[in-house]
Homo-oligomer: A and B are copies of this chain.
Amino acid sequence: MTSSQGPSSPAVNALSGQAVGIVGLGLIGGSLGLDLQAAGVEVRALVHRDSTAQRARERQLAQCIDTDPGVLQGCGLIVLALPLDRLLDPPASLLAALPADAVITDVGSVKQPVLERWEPLHRRFVASHPMAGTAEAGVEAGIPGLFAGRPWVATPTPGTDPIALAAVRELAALVQAQWLTCAAPAHDQAVALISHMPVLVSAALLEAADLGGSAAGADALVRQLASSGFADTSRIGGGNPELGTLMARCNRDAVREALRSYRNQLEQLEALVDQQQWQELEGRLKHCQALRPDFL
């Protein structure tokens, strides 16, 4: 893993003078369009639906927005800001419209399957993952400054074109993201542990606290007493269901491994409660208290 902070200058000014293409203007694509235009870059965007194109134009998410893949012609770098399922099963019309010399990158939260699909498709493909988000999705979701200070992870392989990688790094620097690189399997394992598996852990909490209609009084009491602690712990479990499912589906092996590891830890804590080993439990919770600042 290597990393660098701030808008340091990459060795190669690969973007200069060339338009950036964005495929998809949801939260990530739309936010990128706003920031890149603010940085003086010409942005062209391809979207799926006419209604999205119209709204995206009103929001000025790019200078040129179209449903015709021809809009991408002349772009030096193209960002595939598509949901994982569409990224892994790209339409032929999109593939045909990608210039052979353009740098292509993606924003998917899983990297190994994306590399397996895209490295054979385009010789200048760079797998990357800007780790920024809000609870919003769709053409209304894009906001300025979304990537500032957030990690932008690239997972180059021995086959990755170094000039193409430098171009993506320049893109990340333009939106003030914190650049780092690692191997795709390490990325996928890490995001399973800190993002994909926790969605299921948090969702199970909401399900456990839902006593259902058979216990109406108790159910109402539980809702009334839930405080900020429960709100925080249940936040990602109550998030975007399509995204949560896609992450589990596209990163299934790592998510299963993370779930096994999680369940093992939880069962150990449960055993301490069963066996009334309070000193040991307090020791474990002290360790957790000491651990957490490392993750903030």
Interface residues of chain A, those whose CB is within 8 Å of chain B, are 1, 3, 131, 133, 150-151, 153, 180, 182, 186-187, 189-191, 193-195, 197-211, 217-218, 220-227, 229-242, 244-245, 248-249, 252, 255-256, 258-259, 261-270, 273-274, 276, 278, 281-289, 291-296
Contacts and interface: CB of A to CB of B under 8 A. Distances in A.
A226 B296 contact: yes
A227 B195 contact: yes
B206 A245 contact: no
A289 B241 contact: yes
A258 B211 CA distance: 11
Tell me the number of copies of this protein: 2
B223 A266 contact: no
Given A276-B252, A282-B242, A203 B288 contact: yes
B209 A193 contact: yes
Nearest to A273: B248
A295 B201 contact: no
A interface majority secondary structure:
helix
B261 A208 contact: yes
Contacts of A234: 288, 292, 295
A102 B238 CA distance: 46
A206 B282 CA distance: 15
A80 to B, nearest CB: 21
A218 B194 CA distance: 12
Contact of A198 (B230, B235, B276): B230
A295 B226 contact: yes
8 nearest A-B residue pairs (beta carbon): A238-B292, A241-B285, A204-B266, A204-B265, A226-B295, A207-B265, A245-B282, A208-B262
